[in-house]
Amino acid sequence: MIKDINLFYFYNSRGEPSIKTEILTENGIFSAMCGTGKSRGKWEKKTFNVKNSIENFLKIKKQFLGISEKDWKYFDSLLEKQKNIGAELTTPLSISCLRAATKNQIYNLFEKKSFNFPYPLSNVLGGGAHGGSTSIQEFLIIPSKAKSFPEAVSLVINVWKSVQKEFKKKGFIAGRNDEGAWLTRENELKTLDMLSKITEDFGCDIGLDFAATQFYKHGFYYYPFLGKKFNSEQQFDFVLNLIKTYKLKYVEDPFHENAFSSFSDLRKRVGICISGDDLYCTQPDRIKLGVAKSSTSGIIIKPDQAGTISKTLEAINIAKENNMDIIVSHRSGETCDYFISDFSLAVDAKFIKCGVGGGERIVKLNRLIELWYKLERPKMVKINYL
């Protein structure tokens, strides 16, 4: 039974205000924190001023005391009714309650006999809203040949380190961004040329998160460092060309957040994972729109976009019923909570997108390494296009 709830005004990796929640039961204290985004989608659950959210919750805290943690779905339904509390508080509260219900074993939520480990989808070079010269926001690495999770992590770390070394030699690195990825000084094509040589050496594949809504203005996609602006057809051809030239295995948000038909057209042309982040914002109603048009074969799942774990699971169920690959993802402003690692196992995610550089990123990969050794019968998930 929930005996008390404590809230702490903390900070995330970007120095933004953030909240740590604690739920106290007779079994102990169950805490949580969650990340927050900068390249945010229009349909995400809103975030509020942290101080206001805390004050507003304290006024209604009593409603949540005395509930059994096993009734976490009811706990979530109460959270979803609150109009004056943002995702930065509803999400960690919901995670805390689920941690209490599962006694800190969220990976065991569905009591599975064996565990499929996701592939890391790791941001090693960045641009877009996270800084850097490219409009494309994230250059991602997939350790496709890895036979185990520890091997997968070793590969992405080696690529991340080699990127630093090789790009630095040429003066192409301008620092590190919010997600611990290197900031490239070069344009999209030169960056991909150099990156593909490195990934070939390590037997890894490349994926891209365009986060295209961020550079779509009045009908055009802008690429200042390429000296180009593309209309929708030209953007389509550009994306298709990159997929073929660099043998990409994963492409996220290549078109703006309402371009369901462009996503569908691209998906029909290629056999790789085309996924939606800003397109869906982990919202069941948006996913249904995508399903109706067969827009994507994959979906980014960010629990804070939904605001509670119940709503996140509702989104995942719709996506899975329609054979979409689940990609559980961090945010650019993160914390050292590794909830998404445990959750990725619970929901059989194909990928975990959590970066490599920085304590708040590596803690999520380390957690999965730990579970790889502790759980019985771990194996890498099957992905037919890798």
- Which residue number, 31 or 123, has a Cβ lying nearer to Zn ion? 123
- Which residue number, 302 or 367, has a Cβ lying nearer to ligand PGA? 302
Asked if 44 is part of the footprint of Zn ion (rule: CB under 5 A), the reply reads no
- Binding-site partner at residue 37 among Zn ion, ligand PGA, none, CB < 5 to 8 Å by type: ligand PGA
Active site residues: 179, 302
Angle 304-309-310 (CA atoms, 0-180°, nearest 5)?
130
Asked if 69 is part of the footprint of Zn ion (rule: CB under 5 A), the reply reads no
* Helix and strand numbers, DSSP H then E, in the chain: 12, 19
CB of 16 to ligand PGA, least distance (A): 11
String of DSSP letters for 10-61:
EE-TTS-EEEEEEEEETTEEEEE---B-SS--TTSPPP--HHHHHHHHHHHG
3-state SS string over 286-310?
HHHHHHHCCCCCEEEECHHHHCCHH
Asked if 209 is part of the footprint of Zn ion (rule: CB under 5 A), the reply reads yes
CB of 283 to ligand PGA, least distance (A): 15
Query: Could you list the residues that contact ligand PGA (CB under 6 A)?
Result: 37-40, 137, 209, 211, 277, 329, 331-332
CA–CA distance, 233 with 239 (Å, rounded to integer): 10
Among 44, 179, 188, 277, binds Zn ion (CB under 5 A): 277
- Which residue number, 133 or 305, has a Cβ lying nearer to ligand PGA? 305
Residue 266's identity, in one-letter code, is L
Neighbours of 26 (CB within 10 A): 8
- Which residue number, 126 or 143, has a Cβ lying nearer to ligand PGA? 126
String of DSSP letters for 149-192:
HHHHHHHHHHHHHHHHHHHHHTT-EEEE-TTS-EEESS-HHHHH
**CA nearest neighbour of 255 among 225, 313, 297, 212:** 212
- Which residue number, 69 or 209, has a Cβ lying nearer to ligand PGA? 209
- Binding-site partner at residue 341 among Zn ion, ligand PGA, none, CB < 5 to 8 Å by type: none
CB of 214 to ligand PGA, least distance (A): 8
Token pair 């630093």: residue: 164
Closest residue to ligand PGA: CB criterion: 37
CB of 22 to Zn ion, least distance (A): 30
- Binding-site partner at residue 40 among Zn ion, ligand PGA, none, CB < 5 to 8 Å by type: ligand PGA
CB of 211 to ligand PGA, least distance (A): 5
Q: Which residues bind Zn ion (CB under 5 A)?
A: 209, 211, 277
